[in-house]
């Protein structure tokens, strides 16, 4: 299977004031991401509050992204749930609407503690859409599924034919690189931590990256990749430090899912509030966050609206 090379964005899901899903911004959202150099989206994941949506809402959101995407713009649909049957239905839907790939996080209940449990879950979901590349989404901070990803690759190799790789959102660059090197780089390892993009390039050889701050600062990461490719490590470091400054700000405002979603308003795309149980920013907090963003010259590298 062809490996991804470029930035895949993890988009937020827009909601109306009454909490219902709002699909209207997606066409402009997709155009904005393309304009700023993003090559695809990872829909209904953690940034998209996928686990807080009904299955029908997730299907509607996935279809809207596929409909808004041009041929060279990739749509990966996260179909993971605690119910393997529900995940199979979402995977079948992704296949029917023409998505480019599917992915699952590990179930959060019951707690998975053995590789075989995780492999069986992935196998049963992947098999209903055998023509679609299947990615496992490793994010143990959210799921509590903290198993060896190298052992996962060893277990799925030759067993799940459409297993494409892993969206790796974890701190271990050592394990990430082990997975990159497995079987001469057989599987696609999508780096998932924006704050360590440069180390993943230098140590892990990352090509495809999935990130949440690409929503509003994609150019910053494109520049990091280009500077590294050109051998200008000093420039790449300076740009990564700007990324860290940005992430430091959003971490003070409940992270990317809450604070980052509100940053979208600053680039001209109002996606509404987060769903319960997320605690949304107050007007005072939003104002304070903007002041902190101004202090790091956020507007100089913010995405430009299409």
What residues are annotated to the active site? 137, 167
225 burial class (0-12, 13-18, 19+ CB within 10 angstroms)? buried
Residue whose tokens read 């480019």: 100
Which contacts (CB < 8 Å, 24+ apart) does range 177-185 have? 177/203, 177/204, 177/205, 178/150, 179/149, 179/150, 179/153, 180/204, 180/205, 180/206, 182/150, 182/153, 182/154, 183/153, 183/157
C-alpha distances out from residue 279 to 57, 120, 127, 139, Å: 21, 35, 37, 21
């Amino acid at each position: 299977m062809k490996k991804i090379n470029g930035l895949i964005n993890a988009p937020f899901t827009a909601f109306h004031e009454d909490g219902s899903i709002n699909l209207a911004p997606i066409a402009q959202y997709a155009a904005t991401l393309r304009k700023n150099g993003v090559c695809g989206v990872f829909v209904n994941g953690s940034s998209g509050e996928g686990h807080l949506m009904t299955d029908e809402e997730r299907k509607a959101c996935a279809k809207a992204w596929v409909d808004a995407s041009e041929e060279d713009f990739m749509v990966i649909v996260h179909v993971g749930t605690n119910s393997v049957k529900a995940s199979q239905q979402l995977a079948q839907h992704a296949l029917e609407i023409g998505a480019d790939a599917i992915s699952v996080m590990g179930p959060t209940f019951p707690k998975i503690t053995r590789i075989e449990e995780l492999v069986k879950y992935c196998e049963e979901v992947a098999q209903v859409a055998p023509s679609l590349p299947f990615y496992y989404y490793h994010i143990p901070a959210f799921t509590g599924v903290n198993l060896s990803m190298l052992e996962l690759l060893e277990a799925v190799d030759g067993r799940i034919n459409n297993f494409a790789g892993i969206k790796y959102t974890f701190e271990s660059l050592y394990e990430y690189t082990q997975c990159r090197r497995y079987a001469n780089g057989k599987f696609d390892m999508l780096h998932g931590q924006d704050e360590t993009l440069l180390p993943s390039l230098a140590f892990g050889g990352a090509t495809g990256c999935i990130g949440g701050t690409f929503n509003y600062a994609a150019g910053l990461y494109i520049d990091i990749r280009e500077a590294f490719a050109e051998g200008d490590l000093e420039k790449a470091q300076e740009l990564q430090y700007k990324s860290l400054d940005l992430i430091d700000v959003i971490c003070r405002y409940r992270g990317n899912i809450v604070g980052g979603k509100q940053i979208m308003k600053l680039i001209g795309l109002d996606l509404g509030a987060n769903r319960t149980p997320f605690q949304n920013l107050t007007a005072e907090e939003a104002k304070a966050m903007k002041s902190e963003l101004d202090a790091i010259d956020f507007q100089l590298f913010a995405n430009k609206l299409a």
